[in-house]
Amino acid sequence: MTSLVFPLSRIEGHARVVIETEAGKVLAARFQAIELRGFRQFVQGIPAEQMPVIVPRICGVCSTAHHVASVKALEDAFGVVPPPLAEDLREVLLLGQLIQNQATSLFIFTMPDRVNVDSLFQMDETEASKARQFSIARRALKVRKAGTDLITLAGGQFIHPIKARIGGMTTGIGRETADGMIRELEEMLPAACELFDEYWEMSMALRERIGTWGDDQPTFYLSSTGATRPRFNSSYLRVMGPDGAEMASFLASGYASFLEFEETDYSYAGRTSYQGQVMRANSLARINLSASMGTPRADRYLRRFSESFGKPAHAILLFDLCRGIELVYAMERAIEMLSQDLNSKDPAVDYTPRDGIGYGLVEAPRGPLIHRYVIENGRIADARFIIPTVHNMRAIERAVQVAGERYIDSASINLELEQAVGRVVRAFDPCIACATQ
């Protein structure tokens, strides 16, 4: 038996793929998280009310989602209902994270895969291509900055935001600052669309070159966004079957009745499934589960996507095209929300701490994120973090196996396999920093 080991780059955290082969047959494909973070252990015993400023340190990229999920878990435990204004402000904050994350994933992590290079800054050596490359990089970083600026505006700071609090938000968003953010988003929205159009063309060329979109076997999909239009400050999780029918809808507190979790002996990250079946979360799940985006440009992209690939769509590399649709949506939706009055009334209510169990749910860029806290004597007795990437672990391994079977035979191993493994894993945009709790 031969083991093929592929270290991974352009993902969040540290992981590798190991493919076991014998006589040209793929015996197993394993996605291994190779770091242990230990957050679940070292938050035990801390005052529960400190959790919203501690758990964002789980990940510098996903810190916004952890911040809001933590506050919601404590509100659930304390029996607190935040005012509608706070819910809207949290949605704006999460839209900022979506812009920042999708721009990073698309244009820094996966765009190089479209032209078979290691970096956005190594796409070609010709002077004409260098000029185009510089244009792409400059626009990509400016679009990403619009997301970080929105996080800072709504969350108080970009890395590890602080403005979500138990009972609501610390402040609203004033008219002058909101208008300034609207101007920035309006300026960058055309650039985001141009970049996505280029990305779409590169993706079609990649498909023509390699002859596949990757694993396209029908599967189940998990998301917590709304049915009629996306919402990231979520309440319910939803499961779609392989044929597009909705199979289940449940609160975060009921996740253990629907999702099965298992540990493995080869990775620090576990994996979930729906009734033992392979499941996908993240952008493709949200696009499959959304009837519309609810904003004009994103809806045009959604119609183009559905006409091109069907609904539900299943192929792995389509995750990336879905991120582009969401990037455009998040910018349009943020402009809409910032145009409203987000500073007219008190954005928080008082609360009284109490012991109990609380669940907090948000739709992070990588899928549904759940925090579950057990509070005893005002302190954390137990904390569980149900991480979006964990929902995709089995799907990643199946997709890597499909890639292995495509490029390995009894006579040789096609050198395209290394690129294919990277493309497959990055399509899921995994966050290993979060997944190893």
Q: Which residues are annotated as a binding site for Ni(2+)?
A: 59, 431
What is the rounded CA–CA span in Å between residue 376 and residue 382?
Answer: 9
Q: What angle do CA 297, 298, 299 make, to 5 degrees?
A: 90
By C-alpha distance, which of 109, 287, 297 is closest to 199? 109
By C-alpha distance, which of 294, 283, 289, 292 is closest to 326? 283
Chain centroid to CA 317: 15
**Cα-based torsion angle of the residue sequence 293, 297, 300, 304 in order, rounded to the nearest 10 degrees:** -100
- Please give the annotated binding residues, written as ranges: 59, 62, 431, 434
Cβ(10)–Cβ(109) under 8 Å?
Answer: yes
What is the rounded CA–CA span in Å between residue 72 and residue 81?
Answer: 9
What is the rounded CA–CA span in Å between residue 196 and residue 307?
Answer: 17
Q: How far is CA 156 from CA 89, 116, 148, 173, 340, in A?
A: 12, 39, 11, 11, 19
DSSP state of 408: B
Phi, psi for 9 (deg, rounded to 5): -130, 175
What is the rounded CA–CA span in Å between residue 215 and residue 192?
Answer: 28
Q: How far is CA 194 from CA 40, 299, 346, in A?
A: 42, 16, 39
What is the rounded CA–CA span in Å between residue 384 and residue 239?
Answer: 21
Chain centroid to CA 346: 31
3-state secondary structure of 348: strand
- Please give the annotated binding residues for Fe cation, written as ranges: 434
Burial class (CB in 10 A: 0-12, 13-18, 19+), 105: buried
How many angstroms separate the first and last alpha carbons of the chain?
Answer: 32
- Please give the annotated binding residues for Mg(2+), written as ranges: 62
By C-alpha distance, which of 311, 362, 302 is closest to 332? 302
* DSSP-assigned beta bridge partners for residue 380: 375
